[in-house]
Amino acid sequence: MEALPYYPDWKYICLVRDGRDVAMSLFNHVHALTPEARLTSPVQFYNLSLDFVEFWEDWLRTGNPYWDWFEFIKDWLKFRDFQNVLLVHYRDLIHDKPAQVEKNR
């Protein structure tokens, strides 16, 4: 959120997932990239372990290869009480999409 311009008349939605789900998706994503995709990506994919436990520990410690997930969540939590900011948990969206959509209408 801190990287975005803030306008009181805009609506901001942040979809939040459990960090374990994020890590597993990220692990599968970066290991499925083709060599061509790795070469053209602005993100450096170096020393990424093929072992999920090692990958997990490195991700928790450094945020590599993309971002620090905890900082991302902390940043959005600062704004959660703003009238025009909605934090939606992925699990809640999957289980009751209509209720989540109506939350901030």
**Structure tokens belonging to residue 19:** 């960090």
Give mean pLDDT, residues 37-60. Answer: 83
- Polymer length of the chain: 105
Please say whether the beta carbons of 16 and 88 come within 8 A. yes
What's the pLDDT tens digit per position in 57-90?
999 988 888 888 888 899 999 999 999 999 999 9
Give the 3-state secondary structure of residue 88: strand
The pTM is what?
Answer: 0.74
For 38, list phi and psi in degrees, rounded to 5: -65, -40
